[in-house]
Structure 1
């Protein structure tokens, strides 16, 4: 088309309009990706902060005195001298044979005595 004709100006206007639309779409896509990145970064930072707080909190407590995987020890820590009244003898309650659950864990009467 010849420069200066009406068709030329219409085509030029359509090209500029389409270029502006493409630029707007590109800007929106970049903005959407940037917002997604920021939200993911914030989520990771929150998880990291929570993990650090948990580690700091748990490191302030002594490790548990683990006796055995199949028994529970009830009573004071034998490594710490007791200044209070005498504790009852530590009692280990064995796991029931069903393996589905523990029964009578902290009862003062053994399962054999209940029957």
Structure 2
């Protein structure tokens, strides 16, 4: 089960790269470089996406390897991801916010 959970966390991180790094498609239903709060945030969103991918990737690897540090790293990655989703918010991101909430809650349950 640890392998599956770790691979899920890694995959969740990689999805950020697939969404925020490619050139935006004009036919897409939303613009991932636009914030309803701050306007054009393409560069900061790309940086946050890369940070979330790296941190979640490390957290997933730590989870697979049962490293003592996997919990705070995974929670930090989910928080960075949630921040990115809030910054570029649209209704499509509700699922991602739910996934981040689940990662945080389940990780913290393992700590207790």
Shorter-chain TM-score range: under 0.3
The TM-score, its normalising length taken from structure 2, stands at: 0.24
Q: Higher relative CO (CA 8 A, sep ≥ 6), structure 1 or 2?
A: 2
